[in-house]
Structure 1
Amino acid sequence: MIKKLLNHVGEYKKATLLTPFFVTLEVILDIFIPLLMAMIVDRGINGQSEKDILWIGAALIVSAIFALIFGMLSARYAATASAGFAKNLRQKIFENIQQFSFSNIDRFSTPSLVTRLTTDVTNVQNAFQMTIRILVRSPLLFIFSLIMAFRLNSELAVVFLIVVPFLALGLFLIIKFAHPAFKHVFRIYDRLNQVVQENLQGIRIVKSYVREEHEVKKFTDVSENIYQAFSKAERIVALNQPVMQIAIYTALLLISWIGANLIVVGSMTTGELMSMFMYVMQILVALNMMSMVFVILIISRPSAERMIEVLDEQSDLTDPATPIEMIADGSVSFENVDFSYTDDQNKLVLSNLNFNIQSGQTVGILGGTGSGKTSLIQLIPRLYDATSGVVKVGGHDVKSYSLHALRDAVAVVLQQNVLFSGTIKENLRWGNEHATDEQLIEACRLAQADSFIQSFPDGYDTYIEQGGSNVSGGQKQRLTIARALLKNPKILILDDSTSAVDTKTDALIQEAFYETIPNTTKIIIAQRIASVEKADVVIVMDEGKINGVGTPAELLANNAIYQEVYQSQQKGFGTANETA
């Protein structure tokens, strides 16, 4: 795990290596400072030359200044290295997420991925900085100080051989019990992010249903769970301080008692005892710092494991060894296709689908909620792979194409499609980043979007707020249709993407498709008969299976589901104009 994380240090290796280098220099000077102080004290008590004392004092000041400089340099390089490491780690995680299939994302959930990119990366960044600086300084300070303490007086130094094992045992027990507690905390953080994300995305629904109190309670409950879990974990970690205090005070008392006796019998000088106390404090400070680093590592370990899970996750969808880069035409065929979101043949969403669509045809897909319409069209651009059977585009299995080539040839417009914060032009150019203004306007005319765009004061430079919150549902759908048209796709899929526009506008959009993109295969999922009544073929779906295939006229004559939908809408259900 550590090796995988360190692979992302990248261009910050120099700063990472310079940090322990300057830390080592700082420690060496810190070790000599107590010796210099002992020499000053002993020579002063013995009344030796003032000149010698001044020279030693000057050396002491120079050592302290350089120790300060080396400490500042190590802190600077540690900050640079840790921030750069976090940047690279965050970048790599995000890049890997971009390669995920929908099923990969489903396994983690969006809120969990957000937590891993933010809170978890920050935890690992802090641990990395503490490791390359404090975890280098503390052992060096401990070892060198212990050596100097033994050189001064081995009887006093033996005290540490009694204290350190006790401290090590305490830290081991803390780590053992704290790690699973913090893993539980971060799982609750995922839930908290989910609650916040759902609330902010659906804030208009929350307010329209006057559910603010319910949402506040939901947030409060999750927040309380975090408090309880984090408090439990922190209580375990907090035991670190009492353990350290016991070790420190025990060592100080023993050294004070033994040291006083040694001075009385004349086997130790006052200066040496003072140096011993300074080394004692350095040793205990080093132990204290190491315990603090261990606490940070305890907290960051679950975060590191969660990030490794994302970095190790491989997309379910990959390019073949020698992918086809060109799609010949927009023909589509399904051959004995089954599909399950869990790859479980006992939980099929689609079952035994067989049909052919010729290039340039307009095909309608009709069916009730949960009949499998959206699941079907997601197999065409390989947003998911079929569990069994073969899906073909342009005469070839979709798995034989490169994902980029396939998806570039298939434009999908969802009912709840997304607009990103930025101008209308910037959103439209997601379809074609090199599109000219004239091409943008033409695509918007086909999608019946140009008229309302021109009514905005800034026209095509109008800024779209996050999620398209400053345009209506119908306007958003027309903009996303225009964006898809700019791709000039071989296959255009509309997944109930005109549900928020009125029937007249819907008819104008369909008419524009027939006249301007006759060679593009058009697959239209709709709830309204009017949206598919001019289709060459209509596929009727029911419970994941094909209930009927034919022209609108044929289905009206012999398909019960199509007849039921047609008759209900002829009586007025679903024909009222929706507001745009």
Structure 2
Amino acid sequence: MARNKYDIDEELEEEFDFGQLKRLAKYVGPYKKDMIKAIVIMLLSSALSMLIPRFFMTIMDVYIPEGNIKGIVMLSIATMAIVVFVCASLKTKIILTNRVGQNVIYALRRDLFVHLQELPFSYYDDRPHGKIQVRVVNYVNNLSDLLSNGIVNTITDLCSLIFIILFMLSINIKLTFVCMCGIPILAVLIWTVKKKQRRAWQIESNKQSNLNAYIAESLNGIRVTQSFVREEVNQNIFNGLSSDYKSAWMEAVRYNMMLSPIVDTISVLTTSMVYVLGINWMIGGEAAITAGVLIAFTGYISRFWTPITTLASFYNSLLTSISYLERIFETIDEPVTVKDEEGAVDMPIIQGAVEFENVDFAYEDGIKRLDKVSFRANTGESYAIVGPTGAGKTTIINLLSRFYNIQSGKILIDGIDISKVTIRSLRKQMGVMLQDSFIFSGTIMDNIRYGNHEASDEEVIRAAQIVRAHDFIMAMEQGYSTQVNERGSRLSQGQRQLISFARALLANPKILILDEATSSIDTETEIMLQEGLAKLLKGRTSFIIAHRLSTIKSADCIMYIDKGKIVEMGCHEQLMKQKGEYYNLYLSQYSFLA
């Protein structure tokens, strides 16, 4: 899962590791009592149902010739009682197995989601979110039938098959072997198509993942699509991906559907052989074969092939589920590269001194984004970071928040190497507002409180007032209780940024990070915002990335970054006197604004 495109398949070249099934079994372990109950009930039900053909044989060969009406009535009542018990057992099994199956699916999906929460930014940088989502929802759901019915049915059907064979052998050994002669043929056919069937379901899961990725991308970009009139082009892409998925599905199902007619054909052939040979042997005077024996065998033959058909169906379900299980465990096994080191301790209460010592960093593309970067920010100072696009500005704040691991060097806060403390204790004391002002579905109050669940309503309102979001919030139909949609589609970009700003401020951070915090705010609002920020930033260490140089003129220090290096560093007046890169940038922007 290493390529970020909706039209590229995610390949799994390895042979299936049956250890994955053992891992799945561990999820079933906590519910083994329910599984054992279901298996015992179904085995007892199966064993009792095996008596019914024997009852018919006794009636045909003994009670009818003897005219024993009482015996016929008693066996008929016994047959009815067995049927009632079988129905009740089936109901109990359905309840137990579905409960187990859904509990396992819940646990599996929980572990998958929890692991996704821990994976670093680098994991999501390379993957369409739709391809991740399909694993949490669709792939886990596709295991439902296997977990709810497949395991119990397989065990009980295997035992039922043994019961049937034993009953058949007790009646007539020769006819039993005639009935079983089709099994080797079936085994060879299953083995022949096994690899192709698994491969077909792998391809199907790839195409489903691709389609899901494109749907997610298209929905997220629907405004751009309609703005550039791309509907027809996107529809053609969607139709192509959907067609690929349909073809892959039909190919996979074709292999699944092969087994059922094969089993039916072998069943009909062996049944015919039992009749032909049985009648010939009976006409030939073989005493062990009577009309009752043939009737009993007729009942057992249908029962004999029913569990084999079920087992073949389980085999199909297993191969289908394996293709999904591989993807699920592949995601769970994805290493968490940004994590607490062994022996990591909680970060003490931060005062705010930040230092970079010869920090090198490159993303997975191998291109250096920071090259021997060193600087020191004292407690309470505001540091502005400017420079051309791709220079490494956002990378600096990402590393300070430990969203990525550095290749070499050190990042210190209050003299403590941040790689030696727990990530949670570090981030809890930092307020971060990234370029993507993400708004979650829920109320405005919930969104501002997202980073500080213990904050009171008054504290939320105070944070909104400081960033000048209070007025537009109160103008909405329900004020702070107004429901907003995912990604804040009801709000303007500027409003989303102000809410995100309030969220970051409410966390009461010792270090505040603002990445393009005012890029979508109008000039008038920006002036008011600066007034509130001046109070808030006092005594806090802050890092501000901004393309609007007017917003960072009052910063204690401005760093001009280019090609991963600090080119210039100083306050606004100092850098203007140097007439270097910052000076040129400021003049070009000022001329443009003028």
TM-score (norm 2): 0.93
Q: 1:312 aligns with which of 314, 333, 350?
A: 333
CA distance, structure 2, for counterparts of residue 472 and residue 108 of structure 1: 28
8 Å CA contact retained: 2:179, 2:271? no
8 Å CA contact retained: 2:161, 2:304? yes
Q: Residues 329-348 of structure 1: CA distance to partner in whole angstroms, max 9, x if unpaired?
A: 11211111111122x7x422
8 Å CA contact retained: 1:24, 1:140? yes
CA distance, structure 1, for counterparts of residue 34 and residue 131 of structure 2: 31
CA distance, structure 1, for counterparts of residue 588 and residue 63 of structure 2: 107
CA distance, structure 2, for counterparts of residue 212 and residue 109 of structure 1: 20
Q: Residues 516-546 of structure 1: CA distance to partner in whole angstroms, max 9, x if unpaired?
A: 3311111111111112111111111112222
Indicate the SS of the match to 2:248: helix
Aligned residue type for 1:238:
M
8 Å CA contact retained: 1:431, 1:485? no
Q: Is the deviation greater in 318-327 or in 351-360?
A: 318-327
Indicate the SS of the match to 1:429: helix
8 Å CA contact retained: 1:349, 1:372? yes
Cross-structure match for 1:323 = 345
Aligned residue type for 2:429:
A
Aligned residue type for 1:486:
L
Cross-structure match for 1:337 = 359
Indicate the SS of the match to 1:351: strand
Cross-structure match for 1:440 = 460
8 Å CA contact retained: 1:23, 1:74? yes
Cross-structure match for 1:32 = 51
Task: Flag the 1:263–1:311 CA change in 2: closer, same or farther, 3 A.
Answer: same
Give the drift of 1:152.
1.1
CA distance, structure 1, for counterparts of residue 346 and residue 452 of structure 2: 22
Q: Residues 30-77 of structure 1: CA distance to partner in whole angstroms, max 9, x if unpaired?
A: 211111122122235414311111111111111111122112211221
1:106-145 residue pairs with structure 2 within 5 A? 106=125, 109-145=128-164
CA distance, structure 2, for counterparts of residue 106 and residue 516 of structure 1: 33
Give the drift of 1:189.
1.8
Give the drift of 1:277.
1.2
Q: 2:426 aligns with which of 406, 427, 430?
A: 406
CA distance, structure 2, for counterparts of residue 559 and residue 81 of structure 1: 72
Q: Residues 155-204 of structure 1: CA distance to partner in whole angstroms, max 9, x if unpaired?
A: 11112442111111111222221112211221222221211111111211
8 Å CA contact retained: 1:327, 1:394? no
Indicate the SS of the match to 2:119: coil
CA distance, structure 1, for counterparts of residue 41 and residue 584 of structure 2: 80
Aligned residue type for 2:360:
D
Uncovered stretches (5+) of structure 2, i.e. residues with no partner = 1-19
Give the drift of 1:110.
2.3
1:281 aligns with 2:280: no
CA distance, structure 1, for counterparts of residue 577 and residue 262 of structure 2: 84
Cross-structure match for 1:293 = 314
Give the drift of 1:325.
3.0
CA distance, structure 1, for counterparts of residue 265 and residue 116 of structure 2: 47
1:97 aligns with 2:119: no
Indicate the SS of the match to 1:87: helix
CA distance, structure 2, for counterparts of residue 108 and residue 137 of structure 1: 42
Give the drift of 1:446.
1.3
8 Å CA contact retained: 1:415, 1:498? no
8 Å CA contact retained: 1:490, 1:521? yes
8 Å CA contact retained: 1:10, 1:88? no
CA distance, structure 1, for counterparts of residue 497 and residue 190 of structure 2: 59
Uncovered stretches (5+) of structure 1, i.e. residues with no partner = 576-580
Indicate the SS of the match to 2:376: strand
Aligned residue type for 1:39:
T
8 Å CA contact retained: 1:368, 1:541? yes
1:151-300 residue pairs with structure 2 within 5 A? 151-264=170-283, 265-267=285-287, 268-300=289-321
Give the drift of 1:124.
1.7
Give the drift of 1:133.
2.5
CA distance, structure 1, for counterparts of residue 416 and residue 579 of structure 2: 31
Indicate the SS of the match to 2:152: helix
Cross-structure match for 1:554 = 574
CA distance, structure 1, for counterparts of residue 337 and residue 577 of structure 2: 43
Q: Is the deviation greater in 207-216 or in 400-409?
A: 207-216
CA distance, structure 2, for counterparts of residue 479 and residue 354 of structure 1: 33
Q: Is the deviation greater in 113-122 or in 307-316?
A: 307-316
CA distance, structure 2, for counterparts of residue 394 and residue 25 of structure 1: 70
Aligned residue type for 1:558:
Q
Task: Flag the 1:528–1:448 CA change in 2: closer, same or farther, 3 A.
Answer: same
Aligned residue type for 2:300:
Y
Aligned residue type for 2:524:
K
TM-score (norm 1): 0.95
8 Å CA contact retained: 1:419, 1:480? yes
Paired residues in the alignment total: 572
Give the drift of 1:480.
0.5
Give the drift of 1:11.
4.8
CA distance, structure 1, for counterparts of residue 47 and residue 527 of structure 2: 82
1:384-463 residue pairs with structure 2 within 5 A? 384-463=404-483
RMSD over aligned CA atoms reads: 1.7
Give the drift of 1:205.
1.5
1:358-373 residue pairs with structure 2 within 5 A? 358-373=378-393
Q: Residues 465-484 of structure 1: CA distance to partner in whole angstroms, max 9, x if unpaired?
A: 11111110000000000011
Give the drift of 1:451.
1.2
8 Å CA contact retained: 1:40, 1:57? no
8 Å CA contact retained: 1:115, 1:193? yes
Task: Flag the 1:458–1:383 CA change in 2: closer, same or farther, 3 A.
Answer: same
Give the drift of 1:515.
2.1
CA distance, structure 1, for counterparts of residue 168 and residue 370 of structure 2: 76
CA distance, structure 2, for counterparts of residue 88 and residue 324 of structure 1: 29
CA distance, structure 2, for counterparts of residue 278 and residue 559 of structure 1: 98
CA distance, structure 2, for counterparts of residue 501 and residue 347 of structure 1: 33
CA distance, structure 1, for counterparts of residue 582 and residue 492 of structure 2: 31
CA distance, structure 1, for counterparts of residue 58 and residue 326 of structure 2: 51
CA distance, structure 2, for counterparts of residue 387 and residue 511 of structure 1: 39
Give the drift of 1:108.
5.3
Task: Flag the 1:108–1:153 CA change in 2: closer, same or farther, 3 A.
Answer: farther
8 Å CA contact retained: 2:130, 2:215? no
Q: Residues 293-337 of structure 1: CA distance to partner in whole angstroms, max 9, x if unpaired?
A: 100001000111111122223311222314133143112111111
Task: Flag the 1:164–1:196 CA change in 2: closer, same or farther, 3 A.
Answer: same
